[in-house]
Structure 1
């Protein structure tokens, strides 16, 4: 994880340079073996880290690649247009970074190979029929370890029993609906309860957090692209109100989340890049490569955020967690 966090600033700069919402920019110039299209729903540290991991894997595979990068700026309509632009550009492969991006890419082409990541549930998102048999032109790596939500809920139950947990999500994101359902399943039989607010855009996140604050003891923000792109708004409320903020992935700790059981987005991006390299080299097709889960998961805690959010420190965490200052 340290490598990912150290690269966040550079990634952010890259994202600003490449950001497009109907226009693409090449991230490399000169002769190349392949042209790869990259489509991303929005810029935030996790998705940016996954994109960098993807690029590094292709570099390590000794492939010379030109990239055409499109960002949808959080708008699904832009996502579809971006995917269609990549098809028109006749790229050799599409890297779809998020559920909406992968759905748009699959709607746009049934022939260009698609490799995705930052997708929570590839089956529920109707990207693949099964993890083992992904389909004719799509495969990738999901970003939800099967135990992430259960472990997070168990942690809250152990150290913050009886809490009302505030959750904000975009009901238009299939990955978020799946996760909300898993959280409800995980809290059954515990002392915890869930209070939700749904938003349609990042502009609504601060108001949702403010309205939740009087009703909840803690916040839990899953890997919802709309909300994570405006996570600063939730952090502000959590700090002001002294409510611990649990997040869905480690990169959100960089912005002020308190704790998560999470994965390294650079790593899942890298693994997706390895899949893409196999496909581009002709060693495999998408239908030969099963969809994969992340390999590793652990507890991460941001000590600075804990102090800002009034969390009483437990000595157990010194041994059990990867601590972030």
Structure 2
């Protein structure tokens, strides 16, 4: 372990982007700060997968690493405060879960290695120079889901749908990226769409209610605000017989009808492997391409399906 530490520190010192690397602390533990934007199923699974992935690689909290986990409760000001705390504490590595959390960290440090996850497109979020070659102190994994396939799923499940409500938060860059893909997919198959944006969780019920009578289905991407409030979305939509196709399986668990989604726990484990390459092997985040999960799976909420009286096509099972 000591040898690996010295190698990592030596490699970090040579980083062209000026990374601080992993220095040996008095208690012998690597300090890892974890900032999570908000609590919901997907991000919680992402965090757990990361911690478990570290443990599988031999890095256990309280033994050879010290994890400082902080939740920003979906407040941007909290993100900045937490990021500054990690910097002041001279953490060796920061793991940022979700785009706003990652942006807060990246804006405040160019020296500490940062791995991110649950970020749809790090390049458009200006976290990296390019997803193929980051060129900064930031790398990690993308949670980009097959938005086009999700729109195709919507059309298969609701074949008579003519208009789709695009439900997302107007403050989340990752949502704009996904919605653009979803709209292009709708254009290809002749579906009309209506934007339904919220800027805070208090608007969710009213905005979903405003779609009643206007849309045949609702599509929502891997949007953190919508995910955290999916129970509210589902309550209004399901009562009014409007199927909701979501960006990830956690939202289906909370009442959406269905999705083709990625496994956020596995995404966290994949991110942990990248973190280990930095803290153990001295790899430079600037030269580590953003990684993606290849496999997506179908998730259906059977209670929602029954409540809506929808039959899932046999070829989707």
1:69 aligns with 2:69: yes
Task: Say if 1:167 and 1:194, in contact at 8 Å, map to a contact too.
Answer: yes
Counterpart for residue 202 of structure 2: 203
Counterpart for residue 169 of structure 2: 170
CA deviation after TM superposition for structure 1 residue 135, in Å:
2.2
Q: Deviations over 1:121-160 (max 9, x none)?
A: 1111011111121123110000014xx1111112222342
Counterpart for residue 35 of structure 1: 31
Q: Distance in 2 between matches of 1:294 and 1:170?
A: 24
CA deviation after TM superposition for structure 1 residue 32, in Å:
5.7
CA deviation after TM superposition for structure 1 residue 178, in Å:
0.9
CA deviation after TM superposition for structure 1 residue 33, in Å:
2.3
Which stretch shifts more, 302-311 or 40-49? 302-311
Task: Say if 2:156 and 2:313, in contact at 8 Å, map to a contact too.
Answer: no
Aligned with 1:160 (options 129, 139, 158):
158
Pairs within 5 Å for 1:42-191: 42-63=38-59, 64-145=64-145, 148-161=146-159, 162-191=161-190
1:67–1:82 CA distance, 2 compared to 1 (3 A)? same
Counterpart for residue 236 of structure 1: 235
| Larger RCO (CA within 8 A; separation ≥ 6) | 2
Counterpart for residue 218 of structure 1: 217
Structure 1 gap segments, 5+ residues each: 1-30, 319-325
Structure 2 gap segments, 5+ residues each: 1-26
Task: Say if 1:238 and 1:309, in contact at 8 Å, map to a contact too.
Answer: no
Task: Say if 1:256 and 1:302, in contact at 8 Å, map to a contact too.
Answer: yes
Q: Deviations over 1:198-238 (max 9, x none)?
A: 11111111111111122111111111111111111111012
Task: Say if 1:97 and 1:119, in contact at 8 Å, map to a contact too.
Answer: yes
Which stretch shifts more, 88-97 or 212-221? 212-221
CA deviation after TM superposition for structure 1 residue 105, in Å:
0.6
Q: Distance in 2 between matches of 1:46 and 1:139?
A: 20
1:310–1:163 CA distance, 2 compared to 1 (3 A)? farther
Counterpart for residue 297 of structure 1: 296
Q: Distance in 2 between matches of 1:310 and 1:217?
A: 14
CA deviation after TM superposition for structure 1 residue 86, in Å:
1.1
Q: Distance in 1 between matches of 2:258 and 2:121?
A: 22
**TM-score, normalised by the number of residues in structure 2:** 0.86
What secondary structure, in the 3-state scheme, does the structure 2 residue paired with 1:167 have? strand
Q: Distance in 1 between matches of 2:222 and 2:129?
A: 23
What secondary structure, in the 3-state scheme, does the structure 2 residue paired with 1:246 have? strand
Pairs within 5 Å for 1:253-272: 253-272=252-271
**TM-score, normalised by the number of residues in structure 1:** 0.84
What secondary structure, in the 3-state scheme, does the structure 2 residue paired with 1:152 have? helix
Rg comparison, structure with higher value: 2
Alignment root-mean-square deviation, CA = 1.6
Task: Say if 1:157 and 1:191, in contact at 8 Å, map to a contact too.
Answer: no
